[in-house]
Amino acid sequence: MPELVFFSGTMDCGKSTLALQIEHNRSSRGLQGLIFARDDRAGEGKLSSRLGLVTDAVEAAPGLDLYAYVVRELSQGGKVDYLIVDEAQFLAPEQIDQLARVVDDLELDVFAFGITTDFRTKLFPGSQRLIELADRIETLQVEAMCWCGARATHNARTVNGRMVVEGEQVVVGDVNSPAAEVGYEVLCRRHHRRRMTSGTVLPGALSPDVLPVGE
């Protein structure tokens, strides 16, 4: 049976790499898919991974009816065996409903990839709707790591190297450059709660998580 599958994880855990791997595996077997992406780091109409892999995609812009787009492709003689949707957290809830309709009415597999929560630890509307509708939710097993070495579970936004917890939900930045004007970093819950990023911890400084013990 076709499925709507939501692959979720923090930033920098290999979501886009997996999306490209699924595309490679299926296309090498003669299947043909449609790839949608939104606000990719490589620019409009691209799906890219941090490993340097990139492919063309349809930009899932606000207002684009994804179901109608697939129906139009099929009615014009195009072959569509599956859909891959990257950065799905940025989609509107109604676009997630359209993906579910692709599965139910057109009987196509849909593989959606995205992060669940924003820098404020609040659910993205697109991710919330995916959690509500997905046939299956897969948490990626490639663990991103906090600067302290613990498993990273939270996404943090930094402005000039310092963590912020207020602002627009979507602002373009780079997880590879947290010291830039607007950057992103993955943290464990403890250091997200304490707003301690790699840029605010002095090398060799005693962490407030470690309390000195008297002899």
Tokens of 156: 């943090």
Rounded Cα distance, 197 and 48, in Å: 26
For the chain, the first-to-last Cα distance in angstroms comes to 64
Please say whether the beta carbons of 157 and 173 come within 8 A.
yes
135-161 as b/e: b if 16+ CB within 10 A: eeeeebeeebebbeeeebbbbbbbeee
Return d(Cα 201, Cα 161) in angstroms, integer.
11
Q: How far apart are CA 45 and CA 56, in angstroms?
A: 6
Q: Does the annotation mark 87 as catalytic?
A: yes
State the residue for tokens 């990626």.
140
Residue 118, CA atoms < 13 Å, CB-side half-sphere: 19
Residue tagged active-site, from 87, 138, 168, 185: 87
Q: Write the Ramachandran bin of 204: left for phi over 0, alpha for psi from -120 to 50, otherwise beta.
A: left
Q: What does the block give as tokens for 13?
A: 């855990």
CB contact at 8 A, 89 and 115: yes
Which residues have a catalytic role annotated? 87
